[in-house]
């Protein structure tokens, strides 16, 4: 079965179930959940969470991204051409001294969640940094190649183009083997992300556990704290989706310890780490663990203290706030959080499964016309 864009991921559950000829009773039994919960998800009375989605996907022999649905695929011909030529050196760039700046500008677009601009720039940037790395053979040059592949992974994961995400992390790991040790840690973090997006949370945790051992033995100083920090953030997300409290708490504690070395959040290799980003991950995972009051209280402290994080982190923060507000029955608060997510990161909100699912459920629950919700629904491609 191929994934397609749907008006809220939960709406895909009933469609997939019917394609397989399963009753709600049969699917609920396979997914180890109540028929009542499944019914509410299908009609839009309850939001489909990533954890429940993964259980339903396994019950239907699907990956999570197939169940959630993906955004329509853009023209990827130029990017695919550049990806294929990883081991085929081409013309060296005319201005190699500008490559780092070019990669930095690409990451700024990423942090601003300007997905369409990132896609337009990626093929040329990837081609130039790859050709330069072949010419020099320097670890630093190959590290830049790995960093650009990390951007490709990020873009693909946002749209749930998982074949592209998995190909990007494969090439990222190949480039990292020729780069400095920290590149391999970043690549492992992104590799675990493909497991996260597919709903294989246990497999992703195995990747993280192995990478933590590698980071502890290979890295020193600032790189060690940063590398371990980004791994533990991924680990706590994966463990939270499994509702494994012991493992989640272990990764949370380790992430906070690593964050102590950074008074303010930093951005290296395109990825932010520090106390603020650690807090956003804790908030998201608290929602996954049904600790909704904890999520809201943590968010209040973070927002009240002022944030320096970019749109790529703040947009999802408000989506996760919306998840907890909805679970606690605060529909007005959910709508306000959705509006903030759209205002901060519109291109991300248009394709993010949490944004789409919250919109679907709000539409189902609102019995009277609401202009604010109608505007969001129209931007999401949904009808009220």
CATH code (residue 379): 1.25.40.10
Query: Which alpha helices (DSSP H) does 199-345 contain, by range?
Result: 201-218, 221-241, 245-259, 275-288, 292-304, 311-327, 331-344
Domain that holds residue 38: 1-69
Confidence label for 30 from pLDDT (cuts 50, 70 and 90) = very high
pLDDT tens digits for range 270-286: 999 999 999 999 999 99
Give pLDDT, residue 221: 94
Question: Is 37 within a domain?
Answer: yes
Select the more confidently predicted residue: 73 or 147: 147
Number of domains making up the chain? 2
Residue 152 and residue 78: Cα distance in Å, rounded?
A: 13
Question: Is 62 within a domain?
Answer: yes
Question: Is 336 within a domain?
Answer: yes
Domain boundary among 54, 69, 84: 69
Confidence label for 12 from pLDDT (cuts 50, 70 and 90) = confident
pLDDT at 1 over 70: no
Residue 246 and residue 252: Cα distance in Å, rounded?
A: 10
Confidence label for 187 from pLDDT (cuts 50, 70 and 90) = very high
Residue range 72-91: mean pLDDT, rounded: 92
Give pLDDT, residue 2: 39
Dihedral, 21, 242, 296, 370 alpha carbons, nearest 10: -10
Residue 68 and residue 4: Cα distance in Å, rounded?
A: 9
Q: Helices 50-59 and 221-241, interaxial angle, to 10°?
A: 60
Residue range 61-72: mean pLDDT, rounded: 84
Give pLDDT, residue 15: 87
Kindly report the average pLDDT of the chain as a whole number. Answer: 93
Give pLDDT, residue 380: 87
Residue 208 and residue 171: Cα distance in Å, rounded?
A: 18
Domain boundary among 69, 84, 102: 69
Q: Residues 230, 270: contact at Cβ < 8 Å?
A: no
Give pLDDT, residue 7: 61
Question: Is 342 within a domain?
Answer: yes
pLDDT tens digits for range 195-245: 999 999 999 999 999 999 999 999 999 999 999 999 999 999 999 999 999
Q: Among residues 204, 183, 209, 202, which one has the least CA distance to residue 194?
A: 204
Confidence label for 5 from pLDDT (cuts 50, 70 and 90) = very low
Regarding pTM above 0.75, the answer is: yes
Domain boundary among 69, 87, 102: 69
Question: Is 378 within a domain?
Answer: yes
pLDDT at 264 over 70: yes
**Which of 46-55, 174-183, 327-336 is the least confident region?**
46-55
CA distances from 141 to 30, 83, 122, 130, 335 (A): 49, 17, 17, 8, 45
Give pLDDT, residue 381: 82
pLDDT at 367 over 70: no
Please give the sequence-ordered ranges of beta strands (E in DSSP) within the chain, or none if there are none: 266-268, 271-273
Residue 271 and residue 147: Cα distance in Å, rounded?
A: 10
Q: What percent of the chain has pLDDT over 70?
A: 98
CATH code (residue 31): 1.10.260.40
pLDDT at 86 over 90: yes
Contact partners, residue 300, CB within 8 Å, separation at least 6:
none
Question: Is 183 within a domain?
Answer: no
Question: Is 3 within a domain?
Answer: yes
pLDDT tens digits for range 97-142: 999 999 999 999 999 999 999 999 999 999 999 999 999 999 999 9
């Amino acid at each position: 079965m191929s994934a397609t864009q749907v008006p809220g991921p939960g709406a895909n559950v009933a469609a997939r179930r019917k394609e397989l000829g399963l009753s709600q009773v049969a699917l609920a039994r396979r997914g180890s959940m109540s028929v009542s919960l499944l019914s509410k998800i299908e009609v839009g009375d309850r939001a489909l969470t990533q954890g429940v989605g993964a259980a339903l996907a396994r019950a239907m022999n699907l990956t999570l991204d197939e169940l959630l649905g993906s955004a329509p695929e853009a023209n990827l011909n130029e990017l695919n051409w550049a990806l294929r030529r990883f081991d085929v050196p081409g013309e060296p760039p005319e201005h190699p001294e500008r490559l780092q700046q070019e990669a930095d500008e690409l990451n700024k677009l990423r942090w601003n969640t300007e997905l369409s601009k990132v896609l337009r720039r990626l093929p040329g940037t990837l081609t130039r940094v790859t050709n330069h790395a072949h010419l020099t053979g320097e670890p630093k040059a190959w590290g830049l190649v790995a960093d650009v592949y990390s951007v490709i992974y990020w873009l693909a994961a946002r749209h749930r183009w998982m074949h592209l995400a998995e190909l990007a992390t494969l090439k990222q790991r190949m480039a990292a083997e020729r780069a400095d040790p920290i590149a391999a840690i970043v690549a492992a973090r992104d590799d675990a992300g493909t497991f996260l997006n597919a709903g294989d949370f246990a497999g992703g945790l195995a990747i993280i556990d192995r990478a933590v051992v590698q980071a502890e033995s290979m890295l020193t100083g600032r790189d060690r704290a940063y590398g371990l920090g980004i791994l533990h953030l991924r680990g706590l997300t994966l463990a939270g989706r499994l509702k494994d409290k012991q493992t989640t708490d272990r990764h949370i504690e380790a992430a906070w310890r690593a964050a102590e070395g950074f008074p303010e959040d930093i951005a290296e290799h395109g990825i932010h780490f520090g106390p603020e980003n650690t807090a956003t991950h804790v908030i998201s995972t608290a929602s996954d663990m049904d600790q909704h009051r904890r999520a809201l209280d943590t968010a209040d402290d973070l927002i009240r203290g002022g944030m320096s994080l970019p749109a790529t982190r703040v947009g999802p923060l408000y989506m996760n706030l919306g998840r907890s507000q909805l679970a606690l029955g605060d529909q007005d608060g959910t709508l306000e959080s959705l509006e903030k997510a759209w205002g901060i990161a519109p291109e991300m909100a248009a394709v993010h499964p949490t944004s789409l699912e919250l919109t679907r459920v709000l539409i189902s629950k609102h019995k009277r016309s609401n202009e604010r919700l109608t505007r969001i629904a129209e931007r999401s491609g949904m009808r009220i």
